Amino acid sequence: MSALYRTLLRGLATRGRLLALGALAVLAVLLAVLVRVRAGVDRPDAAFSVVDGYGVSVLVPIVSLVFASAALGDAAEDGTLVYLWLRPVARWRLALAAAGAALTISLPLAVLPVVVAAAVAGVGARLVAGALVGALVAAVAYTAVFCGLGLRVRRALAWGLAYLVIWEQAVARVAKGAARVSISVSTRTITARIARHFPLPRNAMSMPVAVFVPCAAALIAVVLTTRSLQRGEVA
């Protein structure tokens, strides 16, 4: 499993991806610096907007999508995944190795900048804690969900972006039923409840439900990815 992890990690860590998504990560910190310097009495709300509106809602999902969808998707498209698939390794190990490789890059490129931005904004440790937990849960959930996408569809990045824009940013924000199964609403709820004294997202849920939804989504996604690998859907 460690050999699979290292192989997949090397394929993901391309210079283009790291530079492009690194720029998005730096933007989170720059926004926090502007909040610290210019926001004045509105600094707490402005800082929370950076963490919640940009970090947890945009940066973490996009970074997770790019690396997770490529973890198995790139190898499936160029035909090299079959060589990994033919190894005498349990399919769930391959699925976890792919998710682990994607998460290894997503954590420093997405979660860490959100936490640093919360700290730089200087509005208290509660916001930093909320940023850490919310961004971390979001990264794990989105990575698991998008990891098998490249096995099932071509142009996984486009499909993933459509999901994020249409479902997470539009439907789940207005429809209560959709919000109950939304990773975005769940992780934003976690961030706001830990940070305290900040507005909850529309259709927010209780803390236990907010934790359960992304965890369940991640588990189901890993099971589905494992099934796809077991069926030989690698080319």
Query: Residues 164, 57: contact at Cβ < 8 Å?
Result: no
Say what the pLDDT of residue 50 is: 94
112-129 pLDDT per residue, tens: 999 999 999 988 899 999
Domain-located, residue 159: yes
pLDDT of res. 235: 46
Q: Picking from 33-42, 164-173, 215-224, which range would have the lowest pLDDT averaged per residue?
A: 33-42
Helix residue ranges per DSSP H, the chain:
2-12, 15-38, 43-48, 60-78, 81-85, 91-106, 112-121, 125-147, 149-152, 156-162, 172-174, 176-179, 183-195, 207-230
Residue 101 has pLDDT above 50, yes or no: yes
Structure-block tokens of residue 37: 């310097």
Q: Averaged over 73-95, what is the pLDDT?
A: 76
What is the greatest pairwise CA distance in the chain? Answer: 60
Phi, psi of 123, rounded to the nearest 5 degrees:
-115, 10
> Long-range contact list for 199-204, CB < 8 A, 24+ apart?
199/48, 201/52, 201/173, 202/173, 202/174, 203/172, 203/173, 203/175, 203/176, 203/179
Domain span at residue 106 reads 2-230
Nearest to 49 by CA among 123, 109, 160: 123
pLDDT 10s digits, 128-137: 999 999 999 9
At 9, phi and psi to the nearest 5? -65, -40
- Among 150-164, 176-190, 218-232, the range with the most confident prediction by mean pLDDT is 176-190
Instruction: Please give the pLDDT value at position 222.
Output: 93
What's the CA angle centered on 101, arms 98 and 107, to 5 degrees? 130
Residue with tokens 């790139």: 74
Asked whether residue 107 is assigned to any structural domain, the reply reads: yes
Higher pLDDT, 128 or 154: 128
Residue 196 lies in a domain: yes
Q: How remote is the C-alpha of 66 from its chain's centroid?
A: 9
Distance of CA 106 to the CA centre of its chain: 7
| pLDDT for the residue numbered 156 | 87
Judged by DSSP in three states, 90 sits in coil
Domain count, the chain: 1
In a domain? residue 235: no
3-state secondary structure of 60: helix
